[in-house]
Structure 1
Amino acid sequence: MFDLFLQGGTWIMSILTVELICLLFAAWKAPAWVREIGLLVLVTDLIWQLKGMFNAAEVVQQVGDVPLTLVAGGLKVSFISLIYALLIYAASLVIRMLQKPRI
């Protein structure tokens, strides 16, 4: 599990983990913010992933002929943080559903 954390990129995975801690704290102290923090997690990761894809496209443009297996490996690694962000967002939705008053 720690290996996936490192492969996903220590900066973005650390930022997402801090946002997860904020989400759990908000579930306890500020329930109205749970959904917004979940959305912030998704936006943070999408911006980071788009930045990474832009940098990868620049490298491919400079190098020219890049093997498809190398590109596929880079895509696989870039999706690690996206999966983590989606799991955090799903947790925010579950927490939000549990906090809503019953009918």
Structure 2
Amino acid sequence: MQTFTKLLLAGLLFAASGAFAQDQISVQSSCAATESADKNQPPAGMIKTGEMTVTNAETGETTTADSYSPPPKSIADLYMEGGYIWMSMITICLIAMLFAAWKAPRWVKEAGLAALMLGWIYFMTGLYDISEIIGSGQLAGISSESKLAILFSGVRVTVIAPTYGMIVYCISLLLRIAVKPRI
């Protein structure tokens, strides 16, 4: 039974890595399709659908920004963007959980729960910071669309750490199943 559990865990990890690789392939193929579409540029003075023109008020310089998706971020970029202090604390919980799986199997779930709670604490403090900035009047001269963009970019950043905490918690549950004492 223990061998079956280890094989099941290895299969899940292999399937997850295969799904990630498939996602990377589809992103790269969509980027290649975008690059081939750029060869058919519109006539001068015309703007393609999905483009936005921004004019600098001081210099009068005009730049065109298209709405193509940015290149995929690496894990290191997400780690730093999610707040390296909080992400490091969650990583320490992951390391403690892996050590507990080896030495003290009963603490595996608790280390995963600690990672989950650290992620949610970061999420709540991040939401508090976002609401404090938006509600304080620091953004008085900015349009409501820009305020909404600031809000959603802040929420996107604050969701990174809880997601990482949930992943660590799921790993702790799988490890707990794998190393659970037999009756």
TM surpasses 0.5: yes
* Separation (CA, whole Å) in 1 of partners of 2:132 and 2:147: 15
State the one-letter code of the partner of 2:121: I
Q: What is the RMSD computed on CA atoms of the aligned residues?
A: 1.6
By how many angstroms is 1:101 displaced? 4.7
Native 8 Å contact 2:134 2:147 kept in 1? no
Picking from 174, 178, 181, the partner of 1:94 is 174
Q: What is the aligned length?
A: 103
User: Deviations along 1:62-101, whole A, 9 cap, x unmatched?
Assistant: 1255521111111111111111111100000000011125
Tell me what 1:23 maps to: 97
TM value normalised by structure 1: 0.91
* Separation (CA, whole Å) in 2 of partners of 1:13 and 1:101: 31
User: Deviations along 1:26-58, whole A, 9 cap, x unmatched?
Assistant: 000000000111111111121121112112111
Gaps of 5+ in 1: none
* Separation (CA, whole Å) in 2 of partners of 1:29 and 1:100: 12
Matched, 1:53 2:127: yes
Where has structure 1 moved over 2 Å in runs of 4 or more?
63-66, 100-103
Matched, 1:39 2:113: yes
TM value normalised by structure 2: 0.53
Q: Note closer, same or farther for the CA distance 1:31–1:102 as it changes in structure 2 (3 Å cut).
A: closer
Native 8 Å contact 2:109 2:173 kept in 1? yes
State the one-letter code of the partner of 2:170: A
Q: Quick check: which one's strand share is greater?
A: 2
Q: Quick check: which one's helix share is greater?
A: 1
* Separation (CA, whole Å) in 2 of partners of 1:9 and 1:95: 26
Pick 1 or 2: higher relative contact order, CA cutoff 8 A, min separation 6: 1
Greater Rg over alpha carbons, structure: 2
* Separation (CA, whole Å) in 1 of partners of 2:147 and 2:84: 26
Picking from 80, 84, 87, the partner of 2:164 is 84
